[in-house]
Chain A
Amino acid sequence: MADNKKVLVIGGGFSGLTAAVETAEAGSEVVLVEKTPFFGGRVTQLNKYFPKLCPPNCGLEINFRRIKNSGDITFYTSAEVEKISGEEGNFDVTVKVKSRYVNDKCVGCNACAEACPAEMPNDFNFGLDTTKAAYITHNQAFPFIYAIDDRYCKGKACAKCVDACKYNAIDLDMKPETITFKVGSIIAASGWEPYDVSKLDNLGAGKIKNVVTNMQMERLASPNGPTAGKILRPSDGKEAKNIAFVQCAGSRDENHLPYCSFICCMASLKQVTYVREQYEDSKAEIFYIDIRTPGRYEQFYWKVKDDPNVTLTKGKVARITEDIATGDIIVEAEDIMAGKKIKRTFDLVILAAGMVPSTKNSKLPVETSYTPDGFVMPASLKKGVYAVGTLKSPVDVAKSVQEATGVAIKSIQSARR
């Protein structure tokens, strides 16, 4: 097959993985480029999906298997698309691959991490714990090859990992590479970031330990997370049995994100079930402007609402303070239905932080227009370039997968035109 019949997929999260396997299985060659050292994106960080409440690793596992089995997918991790030129059917692509410092002789034995003296904040767990500079994100990571983060690695002067590795898998001399190739079409699937809660000065500005984001909550509840799935509060490791969910932490707010982030209501309702299942005597209260559970998701809302230990309070939380002595969190809202300003104390508070498209802060390597909030305007994309998932608007995993599947055929048509 000619080079320019290939399809480039930017981003190895659930949208990108889906687009890549669907395109490859339909008979096109695919080049998949992921910025981090591991595939799976935000979905890998989730404990469970809504509304079925199944763990995402099974879906990911299937897709990783499909990638491995397909002879048509070339993938790069720790790689970023630097430049794209040309047009539909004939794009020139330049990709920069950063050094992983670990080659594919790695068997994932963890000896390098044990030997490594350099600690760094664990980005995969949103800073809830630390990891070593030689690391793997979790036990089902793909590719299952350790990576060394050169922002924290002490370099060849240390090289303790090199001595510890019995398989000659570590090469601290590994140099970044620049690769160029041709493709016929491009699928952009570079995903989203949680809203930076340090901008929410009345909600603790990200400085109060026991006020965490919804994505941090996923990690706290996740069996491969920092607490091995026990929902414990970060300040003292106490079991968090009385939890508040603060909806619209940044979303639907002209001062922050003027749009609804679509998934946060379902995410909080889902997280309520984490707490309720884990501790029998636990309580959860959701503070909301409106509960938005579109379509059939409404049934999930009814189910959670029927739990007598779950309270839904209409009224946005607009002030969060910390009781320094106990680490408890005081949440203030107006209970609109009762017409009363209330202050309630909780063990742990979850901010339902909104969704920010990755293109808000790093633009695509192709010319296109964006909304003021950084979403890609699909009509402005060049012919042969497609954007999927959260790049266009906030969507859930199911919708992302549908889009990614749909775009596979379009990209093949573009590449073979």
Chain B
Amino acid sequence: MTEQIKPDLKFINSVINAGGESLKKCFQCATCSVVCNVTPDDKPFPRKEMVQAQWGMKDKLLSNPDIWLCHQCSDCTAYCPRDAKPGEVLGAIRKLSIEHYAFPSFMGKMVADPKFLILLLLVPVLIFAVVAPYLGQIIPPQYLEGHTPEYLNELITSSAPIVYAEKFMPVPFIDTVFVLAALFAALGFGVGIMRYWKDLTAGTKVKGSIMGAVMATVTEFLAHKKFKTCEVTVDRARSHLFTFYGFVGLAITTTWAIVYLYGMHWLSPYPLRDPMKIFGNLSALSLLIGITLVIMNRMKNAEKAGMGSYFDWLFIGVIFTIVTTGLLSEILRLMQVPMLAYPVYFVHLVAIFFLFAYAPFSKMAHMVYRTTALVFAKQTGRDKT
């Protein structure tokens, strides 16, 4: 059996630039495949991905479910005799895969590239800072009454109780912005996943039932079973669990708040003893603990597992900003420090927008692509059980 390889040189360079700079050091000894606890025994990763990346076999890699079966435990990186960091290389390939399936595709390129960070930040900043108070044609005027620079100045210097919703960012406006952002993200995810699934299943007979595979993926995931098999970065399972359940809790809190607001016509802020508030605060704490552990673990394991890429740290930075500004907004409001409270809340909104609207193009997309790949792998018997 012969196969003609047409190296995609641009792809090799993009892997290198996306955090896989050590790629070329690999000399194919396969230590990585052996120390990996999550790889299947047949055609194991990441050794084959390393040679495919060195040879620029783009098509083989981007639609390969194995790049997502990898949880970047970094046991491979720690034991690699060449310091080729297979864990980091697979991370870089995953990033390129997210970029490849991105819709609209220019968004994929922008989120992946630090050059566009300011521009991407500018979008929510402008929406919240400029457009919000002054675009009377879109927002009903009664909600914008008094939202002038003078009013804002008065607001942050006044001693009246802080109320973000009514006094600062009108609820219908915020909801419109975030619903649109969510729709944009949903569209991006939808198209991306359809394209990915098409490539995944091309030429493969899908055997088992999809529901069975989904259930198996979800149950495995809820307990973080795969993560727990990591050796060098064994503590990552815990930090990811905290982060994940923090997010789940906050999603529930948001739904709960929608019921209060639209179902019961009860406006925020809600008292601290309200069950929804307690639940929300606990979720935020879980997220804070989780993301702080993520950062600490990454620092601690940097020598063995690698420092991570821009793509990783952008994602971590956004989550860290969201959770810290969120908690600070609440604390500053309770302490009545309007001078700080309103600006912090503003940053909080910008960060949430960033996470939501750019989710299909940022590392946040891992939750969708990895889940899809795991479902596929379970359905085809590819996944190690």
A contact residues vs B (CB 8 Å cutoff): 202, 248, 252-256, 289, 315-319, 332-334, 336, 339-342
CB contact under 8 A between A253 and B28, given known A316-B34, A339-B43, A340-B42? no
Fill in one digit per residue for B75-88: 1 if any A CB lies within 8 Å of its CB, else 0.
Answer: 00001111100000
| Beta-carbon contact of B43 and A317 below 8 Å | no
| A254 proximity list for chain B (CB < 8 A) | 80-83
| A334 proximity list for chain B (CB < 8 A) | 30, 33-34, 44, 47
Q: Which residues of B in the span 21-41 have a Cβ within 8 Å of any Cβ on A? A: 27-35, 39-41
Interface of B is mostly: loop
| Beta-carbon contact of B81 and A336 below 8 Å | no
Complex partner residue of A318 from B27, B35, B42, CB under 8 angstroms: B35
Can you add 19 more A-B contacts, CB < 8 Å, to A254-B81, A315-B30, A333-B30? A252-B27, A254-B82, A254-B83, A256-B81, A289-B27, A316-B30, A316-B31, A318-B34, A318-B35, A318-B79, A333-B34, A334-B30, A334-B44, A334-B47, A339-B44, A341-B34, A341-B41, A341-B42, A341-B44
| Beta-carbon contact of A202 and B33 below 8 Å | no
| A319 proximity list for chain B (CB < 8 A) | 34-35
- B48 on the A face (CB < 8 A): yes
Residues of B in contact (CB 8 Å), total 22
| A248 proximity list for chain B (CB < 8 A) | 29, 81
B70–chain A nearest beta-carbon distance, Å = 15
Question: Which 3 pairs across A and B sit closest by C-beta, in order of nearness?
Answer: A318-B34, A253-B81, A334-B30
A242–chain B nearest beta-carbon distance, Å = 20
| Beta-carbon contact of A340 and B43 below 8 Å | yes
| Beta-carbon contact of A339 and B48 below 8 Å | yes
CB contact under 8 A between A318 and B43, given known A254-B82, A255-B81? no
B contact residues vs A (CB 8 Å cutoff): 27-35, 39-44, 47-48, 79-83
| Beta-carbon contact of A202 and B79 below 8 Å | yes
Q: Which residue of B lies closest to A288 (CB)?
A: B29
A342–chain B nearest beta-carbon distance, Å = 8
B50–chain A nearest beta-carbon distance, Å = 11
| A339 proximity list for chain B (CB < 8 A) | 42-44, 48
| B28 proximity list for chain A (CB < 8 A) | 289, 336
Q: Which residue of A lies closest to B81 (CB)?
A: A253
| Beta-carbon contact of A336 and B27 below 8 Å | no
Give bound CA distance, A316 to B42, whole Å: 16
CB contact under 8 A between A340 and B34, given known A254-B81, A254-B82, A315-B29? no
| B47 proximity list for chain A (CB < 8 A) | 334, 336
| A341 proximity list for chain B (CB < 8 A) | 33-34, 39-42, 44
Complex partner residue of B30 from A252, A255, A256, A318, CB under 8 angstroms: A318
| A336 proximity list for chain B (CB < 8 A) | 28, 30, 47
| Beta-carbon contact of A252 and B81 below 8 Å | yes
Give bound CA distance, A318 to B37, whole Å: 12
Give bound CA distance, A253 to B35, whole Å: 15
CB contact under 8 A between A318 and B44, given known A202-B79, A255-B79? no
| B41 proximity list for chain A (CB < 8 A) | 340-342
24 A-B residue pairs with Cβ-Cβ distance under 8 Å, sorted by A, are A252-B29, A252-B81, A254-B80, A254-B81, A254-B82, A256-B81, A289-B27, A289-B28, A315-B30, A316-B29, A316-B30, A316-B31, A318-B31, A318-B35, A318-B79, A319-B34, A319-B35, A339-B43, A339-B48, A340-B41, A340-B42, A340-B44, A341-B39, A341-B42
| B33 proximity list for chain A (CB < 8 A) | 334, 341
Q: Which residue of A lies closest to B84 (CB)?
A: A254
A352–chain B nearest beta-carbon distance, Å = 13
A246–chain B nearest beta-carbon distance, Å = 12
Give bound CA distance, A336 to B30, whole Å: 7
Which has the most chain A C-beta neighbours within 10 Å: B31, B41, B80? B31
A275–chain B nearest beta-carbon distance, Å = 24
Give bound CA distance, A266 to B35, whole Å: 27
Q: Which residue of B lies closest to A342 (CB)?
A: B41
Give bound CA distance, A254 to B81, whole Å: 5
Give bound CA distance, A310 to B81, whole Å: 26
A290–chain B nearest beta-carbon distance, Å = 8
| B32 proximity list for chain A (CB < 8 A) | 318
Give bound CA distance, A166 to B80, whole Å: 60
| A202 proximity list for chain B (CB < 8 A) | 35, 79
| A342 proximity list for chain B (CB < 8 A) | 41
Q: Which residue of A lies closest to B76 (CB)?
A: A318
Give bound CA distance, A317 to B33, whole Å: 10
A336–chain B nearest beta-carbon distance, Å = 5
| A333 proximity list for chain B (CB < 8 A) | 30, 34
Q: Which residue of A lies closest to B231 (CB)?
A: A202
A260–chain B nearest beta-carbon distance, Å = 11
Give bound CA distance, A339 to B44, whole Å: 7
| B43 proximity list for chain A (CB < 8 A) | 339-340
B60–chain A nearest beta-carbon distance, Å = 13
Give bound CA distance, A253 to B82, whole Å: 6
A370–chain B nearest beta-carbon distance, Å = 22
Give bound CA distance, A386 to B163, whole Å: 83
Q: Which residue of B lies closest to A335 (CB)?
A: B30
| B48 proximity list for chain A (CB < 8 A) | 339
Q: Which residue of B lies closest to A257 (CB)?
A: B81
B66–chain A nearest beta-carbon distance, Å = 12
Give bound CA distance, A315 to B82, whole Å: 15
| B35 proximity list for chain A (CB < 8 A) | 202, 318-319
| A256 proximity list for chain B (CB < 8 A) | 81
| B83 proximity list for chain A (CB < 8 A) | 254
Q: Which residue of B lies closest to A316 (CB)?
A: B29
Give bound CA distance, A202 to B232, whole Å: 12
| A318 proximity list for chain B (CB < 8 A) | 30-32, 34-35, 79
